[in-house]
Amino acid sequence: MTLEARKIRLLMQLRRAGITDTAVLAAIEKVPRELFVPPSFHDQAYENIALPIGLGQTISQPEVVALMTQSLEATRQHTVLEVGTGSGYQAAVLSRVCRRVYSIERHGDLLKQAEARFAELRLHNITSRRGDGSRGWPEPQSFDRIIVTCAAELPPEPLLAQLRDGGCLILPVGGQGRSQELLRLRKTARGVEREELGLVRFVPLVADLPEKRSTG
């Protein structure tokens, strides 16, 4: 089966799983997932599974990417912060449905690879930065939407502080080694409203940057 045929099969699976947002489905169709996985996994690029990308990180299964993107309710008027660039796949999908994406990643090597993919695909509305995503974007900024692609024990307060009134934050909450609850938090005049979207499994959100390895 060709990659194109596998992509069509995946899109049908996503529709059956409840992904109905046409902009999200179009983004999944247009972004070549095979560019975001190691060459040894190209033949599995359009399987509905997570795949390793190195440094203990994974590219999320397409159904989870689509669900989280759809749950953001983002439009071409919205600016989105992504915590956890990883391979860059989620940011690439977001770039097709919103005005601008700001993406932060703690692993410098993964970020360089993601930025090369953004350049190859000419995704000029993505701004990426290395940093501690639990602290939010390192410069003063506010966002219409925030998406966290790693699991936190609790929603980080700096992220809620950078979320504009009326905006929403999508993130998995729970401990490592077990399923987490995917939450949608809406920031309203009455406070933060919480909605549970289902169980997921993500690597943990880690504060601070990795220590540089000794070369001596």
DSSP line for 19-48 = ---HHHHHHHHHS-GGGGS-GGGGGGTTSS
Instruction: State the virtual CA torsion across 148, 125, 168, 170 in degrees, nearest 10.
Output: -20
Residue reference for tokens 């990795």: 210
146 DSSP β-pair partners: 81, 169
Task: Out of 40, 60, 128, 142, pick the active-site residue.
Answer: 60
d(CA 48, CA 196): 22
Amino acid at 166: G
Amino acid at 116: A
- Give yes or no: 214 in active site: no
Which segments within the chain are labelled E, that is strand?
51-54, 57-59, 79-83, 100-105, 126-130, 143-148, 163-173, 180-188, 191-200
Residue with tokens 């940057």: 209
Nearest alpha carbon to residue 64 among 79, 78, 84, 38: 84
Q: Are the CB atoms for 160 and 187 separated by under 8 Å?
A: yes
Residues annotated as catalytic are: 60
